[in-house]
């Protein structure tokens, strides 16, 4: 997995498997305390009575877990230039402490910027699955250096 | 700001000002090390040569800063039930250490769930501005208890 990835390698339909991440309970709680202190992210008793049934991860923590897998699996071997954003962020099912989540990234589209041809724009969809269940998805544009 | 907010209070067009957050350099770097270790988030020299010009915050850190302001300003006094996701996440400009960001939330739409009338679905857009410049936006659905 150390081969470099050029812009031309981001072909529509290509799927990158990014490995499995485990949801650490202490880190999940620390994240929620700082960034998303809603009771069902922090309090066992409240969470048990909530629609989640038990302590659920902040969706932004889940997003961070996916991002790290994407950096380690793809960006570390590409010339990424950041992201202006995207048009999907989805948390279709709650994430719990101890979950094992499988991370993937699929290329949806790729083109060069019209105004800056050395800039590659890759539309990608990142996902996390717990077994066959989708628990996170985000579709956004990744910018990459596109050599001529 | 301690008045409770009922579902009926989320009227389209209503804007909640969520105060100002300061981007702490150490926390910004710690977040990037854990969740988004791209060189332009971590290495001054690389960042200086990047399109950002200097160390830029991970967009997921920026999202977390907005979320905390939203929890403190709105969710702490409402019966929030989480979010299934949304259709915009946007980082139109980089965020830097020391930035002062003004957080807001605007209600775009609100309706009861067709299948569960006690569930209120609020479409909201969260934003962060540095002076007049938009640096973060997310549009998503917030679920709230809607008493009859």
Per-residue pLDDT tens for A17-34?
999 999 999 999 999 999
pLDDT range class, residue B148, cuts 50, 70, 90? low
Supply the DSSP symbol for B127: E
**Sheet bearing B100-112, strands edge to edge:** A15-22, A100-112, A119-130, A133-145, A85-90, B85-90, B133-145, B119-130, B100-112, B15-22
Average pLDDT over residues A108-135: 97
* Tens digits of residue pLDDT in A75-103: 999 999 999 999 999 999 999 999 999 99
Q: How far, in Å, CA of A139 to CA of A105, rounded?
A: 9
Nearest to B5 by CA among B145, B105, B126: B145
- Are residues A142 and A108 in contact, defined by beta-carbon separation less than 8 angstroms? no
A67 with B60: Cβ contact below 8 A: yes
Best interface-test mutation with B: which of A67, A79, A126 has the largest number of B CBs within 10 A?
Answer: A67
- Are residues A85 and B90 in contact, defined by beta-carbon separation less than 8 angstroms? yes
The answer to whether ipTM exceeds 0.90 is yes
The encoded tokens of residue A90 equal 């989805």
| Residues B120, B88, A104, A54, CA torsion sign | negative
A85 with B64: Cβ contact below 8 A: no
Give, in order, the Cα–Cα distances in Å from A41 to each of A28, A75, B82: 8, 30, 10
In chain A, what residues touch B77 (CB-CB under 8 Å)? none
Asked if pLDDT for residue A121 goes beyond 90, the answer is yes
* pTM, entire model: 0.97
- Are residues A35 and A76 in contact, defined by beta-carbon separation less than 8 angstroms? no
* Tens digits of residue pLDDT in B83-135: 999 999 999 999 999 999 999 999 999 999 999 999 999 999 999 999 999 99
B37 with A71: Cβ contact below 8 A: yes
The encoded tokens of residue B126 equal 């969260």
């Amino acid at each position: 997995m150390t081969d470099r990835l050029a812009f031309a390698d981001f072909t529509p339909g290509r799927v990158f498997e990014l490995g499995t991440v485990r949801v650490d309970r202490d880190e999940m709680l620390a994240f929620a305390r700082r960034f998303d202190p809603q009771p069902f992210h922090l309090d066992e008793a409240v969470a048990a009575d909530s629609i989640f049934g038990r302590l659920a991860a902040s969706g932004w923590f889940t997003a961070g877990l996916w991002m790290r897998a994407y950096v380690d699996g793809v960006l570390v071997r590409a010339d990424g230039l950041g992201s202006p954003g995207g048009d999907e962020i989805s948390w279709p099912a709650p994430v719990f402490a101890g979950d094992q989540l499988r991370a993937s990234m699929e290329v949806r589209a790729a083109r060069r910027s019209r105004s800056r041809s050395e800039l590659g724009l890759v539309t990608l969809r990142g996902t996390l699955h717990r077994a066959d269940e989708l628990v996170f998805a985000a579709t956004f544009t990744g910018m990459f250096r596109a050599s001529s």
